Amino acid sequence: MVPPVRDHIPVVVQGRVRGAPRVAFARVLWACAEVVTTVGVVVALLVVHQVWWTNRQAVAAAQDRVRALEREWGAGPAVPAEPAEADETGPTGGESASPAVPDAVPDTGPSAVPDAVPSAPASRAPAPKAPAPAPAPAPGASAGAGQAYAVLRVPRLGLSVPVARGVDKRTVLDKGYAGQYPGTALPGARGNFALAGHRNTHGEPFRYLNRLRAGDELLVDVRGRRYTYVVGKVLGETTERDTGVIAPVPRSVVKPEYGYSEPGAYITLTTCTPEYTSKYRLVVWGTLRP
């Protein structure tokens, strides 16, 4: 007789798999590396956009605005302008008013002709005077906030940049413009025509402001008229709260040895320093050439 065959039941012996913790650790490292790489790529793209692409956009738009202003003023070259005679008003004493009203036009009525009969001269009413012409507005006085009304040219730097009222980042500075501080004088007027501009990103018109030296020209064109300022002093570093640098008679309140002490017609250019930071301010001053 054949003995019955017994079923063989396999016995599974559970043991510790060698290398399992290493595999899990490797997977965690790989996931972290992917996250870091993705974040790095995103940050790099943001830097490229901020430093390179915004520059291209702002420079192109600013130069288009310069050409548009030149077309508005006519194709002819800008002519030297007489210094504008304007009072100083505004919170910092620099906002310029319109020029004084010119003298009235002389009497243009008909001359008195004697009557044919000498014994009975006819009385004549005085001839009415012609109204005096309205004074021309001060250059840039009618420009609204954020609206470019002038062009600043710096021959040493090969720079031509539109000038707009105000220093708002979104509507002025980030467009690659130079912004005029509110309450400061208009071009050519007595007081301080004070401007701000980006040193890095968004067109960075004032990036190389530190290269300016005494005697360099700063040309401001407004409606075909040119005001020529000459660089006189440079303040390499001051705080962002040094409001004295844009006063009607500019003088640093942080470093009082820098600045001026006599009233005149000044220009002030300000930007951030060192590059790629906004910790301090670099200041360049000039005076209007007679």
Q: Catalytic: 281?
A: yes
The phi, psi pair for 124, rounded to 5°, reads -120, 140
* CB-based contacts of 112, cutoff 8 Å, min separation 6: 124
Catalytic residue among 65, 165, 199, 281: 281
| Region at 183 (left for phi over 0; alpha for psi -120 to 50; beta for the rest) | left
213 is catalytic: no
Residue in 165, 190, 202, 272 annotated catalytic: 272
Q: Any catalytic annotation for residue 198?
A: yes
The pairing of beta strand 95-96 with beta strand 88-89: antiparallel
**Lookup result for tokens 């001359």:** 111
List 153, 190, 198, 225, catalytic entry: 198
Q: How far apart are CA 199 and CA 161, in angstroms?
A: 13
Q: How many angstroms separate the CA atoms of 141 and 149, rounded? A: 9
Catalytic residues: 198, 272, 281
